Amino acid sequence: MQKPEKNPDNGKHGSDFSAMFAALGDPTRLAIFDRLADGKPRSISVLSNDADMTRQAVTKHLRVLEAAGLVQNHRVGRESQYAFCPEQLAEARAYLDQVAGRWESALMRLKTFVEDDEV
């Protein structure tokens, strides 16, 4: 069987969100993101100190988080500080809320249907 290639449409639902979830989908990155949630910006060196990997690896992770819009970077002196960035987090939450909402609605419709059927 060959590659089907059916969908000529694009855009729609949460296809954009997958990149953000992917960014959070690595334990190291999630740990960094979690840590930065206290609002204090931290340099690459500081963030590397308690990671079990090299500074370069941490740098790459930070760039992935930055590309996903989850953290922001700005250079101060010789160091590069990364800080929490709440907008994308809000988007992710809104998306998951929306999915959960659809699920709840579906449940509700089912319940109503069953009740109507029982009368």
Which 30-49 residues touch DNA, going by CB under 7 A?
43-46, 48
- Taking the complex as a whole, the smallest distance from the CB of residue 119 to its own copies amounts, in Å, to 22
Whole-number Å distance between alpha carbons of 53 and 63: 16
Partner whose binding site includes residue 87, from its own copies, DNA, none (CB under 5 to 8 Å by kind): none
- Taking the complex as a whole, the smallest distance from the CB of residue 4 to DNA amounts, in Å, to 7
* Six token digits for residue 113: 């249907």
Which 38-97 residues touch DNA, going by CB under 7 A?
43-46, 48, 53-57, 59-61, 64, 75-81
- Taking the complex as a whole, the smallest distance from the CB of residue 1 to DNA amounts, in Å, to 4
Whole-number Å distance between alpha carbons of 44 and 25: 20
Nearest to 20 by CA among 32, 30, 7, 28: 30
Bridge partners of 43? 81
Rank residues 39 and 119 by Cβ distance to DNA and give the closer one: 39
82 backbone dihedrals φ, ψ, rounded to 5°: -110, 135
* Six token digits for residue 41: 């910006």
Residues engaged in binding DNA (CB under 7 A): 1-4, 22, 26, 28-29, 43-46, 48, 53-57, 59-61, 64, 75-81
